[in-house]
Structure 1
């Protein structure tokens, strides 16, 4: 266990609220989850630079999360989600608001987006904004444009909004219900979504998968779809390399650009630009 107090990477407001939650949890005698038992599994913190949204993730509904939220209500909005499954999945089911607003309006580059208690947000918004900008540009740095673009793992919808300025039709795909609802689409996994588009002429597919990457099923579906261009954003070099190997028979890798999202750590965001083999 590493004591993260005083971490130079954290935003000061996040550090303040994290310390307050740790102190309140200790005072209340909240039992940390140990993988088999306990109460509090994770505390997920987001900020717009001023306000903080904290999501308490517990093992079960038999929790002291409401008491913990009350102790820090003066510092942060708090939501509560239950994640009973084993493994390292963080997000649980629907988040229940306990105090304060349900979402934050945050800036990513020159864009603003709404992020809820279970919505994913990059920890370094300035650099993340540059990575998103690279994701919607081609290998030469020009803004991509065309008739149809698909946005896989669309999340908060930042790239969806950017693409809609340049494409006649942009269709987002997102599996997580909260994010899908914000995008106005039903939740759907990427593989069946891509499979439904096979046979259509798609100009660009943008994908921002989780650390596990696209995986063989999605790569196979993309190979069958054969969009003119495929742009992938990845937070894990190993899974990106695996996916690029899977895609090599159908696409040509043109460029990979790295963004130092967390300075002084090994963490990078990678943006890969590919074009279909013709």
Structure 2
């Protein structure tokens, strides 16, 4: 990959982005989006960055090896700092930022080398962890469906990691679990559907309790408010049927959660040209 340049290297569009960043430097906005192939949907990503202008964007399911990651469009928009953990055709995560990043790590919670996590430290000491939890296949039974067992094991490894955390941390990504009844379009209809089964919900609850994570989505939009981040491609009209699930999350250590001042789900992105089946989340922090 090309060498990183300073955070305020000026290009025509990047100059405007830089000026906006300087004007609001007391706040930090962090976005998370399962993009379902960053190269195929690079136009949507660029549009999102122009319209929302987050300081940091965490991507999941990038589906590209590190050497082929499309870094140039991000740098042209002023996002000079890229930390990538890629894999050909499958999985892959990345953190793209206008502010400096350091101390990156890549944890193998899947225990098989899949590219599902990347973490960084910001200059203010905040840890940012970006994760893509396995979907878990179609059958919610460990014996009949090994993928489901791998998902549960992944969550348990995350739980052990969370219990040992001793620094302020923000955990974001596609968790592939919709934990609350109001996180899905029909609780009763989805009780036996992977992503909303009681065993997955219980595993996610253990993960949350292990560190005292604060669910930022539900802090700003308390249950039972409707809050969805994913709609299947199978629906002819996703908005009309609105059979959504909240699979994407932002969780924060309590001290960081107290500094969150806004959180939004960018639902209109689901109607853009060549959309991902997920939409971005954005949280703003007063740091």
Give the TM-score band, short-chain normalised.
under 0.3
With the length of structure 1 as denominator, give the TM-score of the two structures.
0.26
Q: TM-score, normalised by structure 2?
A: 0.25
